[in-house]
Amino acid sequence: MSAEIIDGFGIAKSVREDVAKQVTELKRKGVAPCLAVVLVGENPASVSYVRGKAKALNECGMIDKSIHLPESTTEEGLLQLVDSLNKDENVHGILVQLPLPKHINENKIIDAIAPKKDVDGFTPVNVGNMLIGRDCYLPCTPHGIIELLKRKNIQTNGKSVCVLGRSNIVGKPISILLSRKEYNATVTMCHTGTQNTAEICQNADIIIAAVGRPGTVTADMVKDGATVIDVGVNRIPDTTKKNGFRLVGDCDFEAIKEKAAFITPVPRGVGPMTIAMLMVNTLDAARKQI
Ligand code: NAP
């Protein structure tokens, strides 16, 4: 059996096109959705993510209010900026790109973002509302995974899901979301303290790997016909590439694709969906704030 490779890039494009149509309609009513993306410092991965977000905003016809601050920006300075963006009626969403420089307390900054503009879904108010199933902005990566599963018609109802990783931005929220009655999956969340990760994976209908280590999920851990969603983005040295590296996920893609029914590639799998769902959340934020 050879797996269907889920075209996250193509699905993300179609999500962005849907958003663009709705933005056109909203603009006719006089509202132009606007996202403020705040980047502090020069972390190369962050610079590249922010560039991707700006490109997607432009494609969707939304206003890109990118703010690039120097590494030396103080915590107080960043808090003041967030405060002014909270008060700016023309800004509907605020995203502060993480990680922040070490001298800035990330929690303080996240806590300062007005929940109604928290399109990343990281503030405690949004996380709490997600947990108890109330209206909220879903964090973009888990939101993107759910959208991929829906668009590929991959059933979650009654299925066993193994999530590897328990981060606040991927592992925990995707576990909570898939456990909701509407998705009805039975989820096991694994981490470095889990004793029998391989066995749990072998029994899973869906594996979601968000670990950040290449080769964490091997073919022998995957049941025939399972779905494998690889969230990991790892840079590994590659002298054949101009930039000296290539991106791989957390799963042994080549071997697993001979066993699984569906698998996401890295790149062009979950990554583009994360940005697409940010566009969806920004549109939603603009609508809610009219
Ligand atoms: P993270 O904060 O980097 O934490 C990694 C998690 O993996 C931790 O919970 C850790 O467990 C767990 N872990 C480590 N080794 C493990 C193993 N062998 N088995 C099971 N769990 C293991 O997580 P993250 O921020 O979610 O990032 C994970 C990966 O996803 C990274 O490569 C990141 O770049 C990528 N990512 C991609 C996107 C995207 O849009 N494609 C978005 C976000 C993140 P402990 O808690 O016990 O340490």
Per-position pLDDT tens, the chain of length 290:
799 999 999 999 999 999 999 999 999 999 999 999 999 999 999 999 999 999 999 999 999 999 999 999 999 999 999 999 999 999 999 999 999 999 999 999 999 999 999 999 999 999 999 999 999 999 999 999 999 999 999 999 999 999 999 999 999 999 999 999 999 999 999 999 999 999 999 999 999 999 999 999 999 999 999 999 999 999 999 999 999 999 999 999 999 999 999 999 999 999 999 999 999 999 999 999 98
Whether 216 is in a domain gets the answer yes
Whether 192 is in a domain gets the answer yes
For residue 201, count other CB atoms closer than 10 A to its CB: 24
Smallest CA separation from ligand 1 atom 23, residue = 167
Q: How far is the CA of 156 from the centre of ligand 1 (A)?
A: 22
Q: How far is the CA of 232 from the centre of ligand 1 (A)?
A: 7
Rounded to the nearest integer, the mean pLDDT of the chain is 97
Same domain for 178 and 250, yes or no, is yes
Smallest CA separation from ligand 1 atom 34, residue = 233
Residue 44, domain extent? 30-114
Same domain for 153 and 100, yes or no, is no
Rounded Cα distance between 60 and 12, Å, is 12
For a mutational test of ligand 1's pocket, the pick from 98, 143, 167, i.e. the residue with the most ligand atoms closer than 8 A to its C-beta, is 167
Q: How far is the CA of 195 from the centre of ligand 1 (A)?
A: 17
Same domain for 160 and 240, yes or no, is yes
Same domain for 263 and 187, yes or no, is yes
Residue where a domain stops, chosen among 98, 114, 130: 114
Q: Give, as one character, the DSSP assignment of residue 97.
A: P
Ligand 1 environment, Cβ below 6 A: 141, 164-167, 169-171, 190-193, 197, 210-213, 216, 231-234, 270-271, 274
Q: How far is the CA of 215 from the centre of ligand 1 (A)?
A: 13
Same domain for 261 and 150, yes or no, is yes
Burial of 152 (0-12, 13-18, 19+ CB in 10 A): middle
Same domain for 221 and 165, yes or no, is yes
The 10s digit of each residue's pLDDT in 66-123 is: 999 999 999 999 999 999 999 999 999 999 999 999 999 999 999 999 999 999 999 9
Same domain for 94 and 150, yes or no, is no
- Pick the atom of ligand 1 nearest to 191's CA: 21
Whether 288 is in a domain gets the answer no
Same domain for 180 and 62, yes or no, is no
Q: How many domains does the chain have?
A: 2
Whether 42 is in a domain gets the answer yes
Backbone phi, psi, residue 122, to 5°: -100, -15
Whether 135 is in a domain gets the answer no
Question: pTM score > 0.85 for this model?
Answer: yes
Same domain for 156 and 239, yes or no, is yes
First to last CA, the chain: 50
Whether 102 is in a domain gets the answer yes
Catalytic positions, written as ranges: 53, 97, 120
| CATH number, domain with residue 34 | 3.40.50.10860
Q: How far is the CA of 26 from the centre of ligand 1 (A)?
A: 37
Q: String of b and e for 51-80 (b: at least 16 CB within 10 Å)?
A: eebeebbeebbbbbbbeeeeeebeeeebbe
CA 165 from chain centre, in angstroms, equals: 14
Smallest CA separation from ligand 1 atom 25, residue = 167
For a mutational test of ligand 1's pocket, the pick from 172, 231, 266, i.e. the residue with the most ligand atoms closer than 8 A to its C-beta, is 231
Smallest CA separation from ligand 1 atom 6, residue = 165
Predicted local confidence at residue 74, as pLDDT = 98
For a mutational test of ligand 1's pocket, the pick from 162, 192, 273, i.e. the residue with the most ligand atoms closer than 8 A to its C-beta, is 192
Same domain for 177 and 57, yes or no, is no
Q: How far is the CA of 287 from the centre of ligand 1 (A)?
A: 33
Predicted local confidence at residue 18, as pLDDT = 98
Whether 134 is in a domain gets the answer no
Same domain for 88 and 169, yes or no, is no
Q: Where are the alpha helices (DSSP H) in 60-153?
A: 75-87, 106-112, 124-131, 140-151
Rounded Cα distance between 110 and 114, Å, is 9
Angle between helices 8-28 and 140-151 (to 10 degrees): 110
Whether 11 is in a domain gets the answer no
For the record, the structure tokens of 222 come out as: 């995957």
Same domain for 148 and 84, yes or no, is no
| CATH number, domain with residue 169 | 3.40.50.720
- Pick the atom of ligand 1 nearest to 211's CA: 7
User: Would you report the helix, strand and coil content of the chain in percent, each value rounded to 5?
Assistant: 40, 15, 40
Smallest CA separation from ligand 1 atom 20, residue = 191
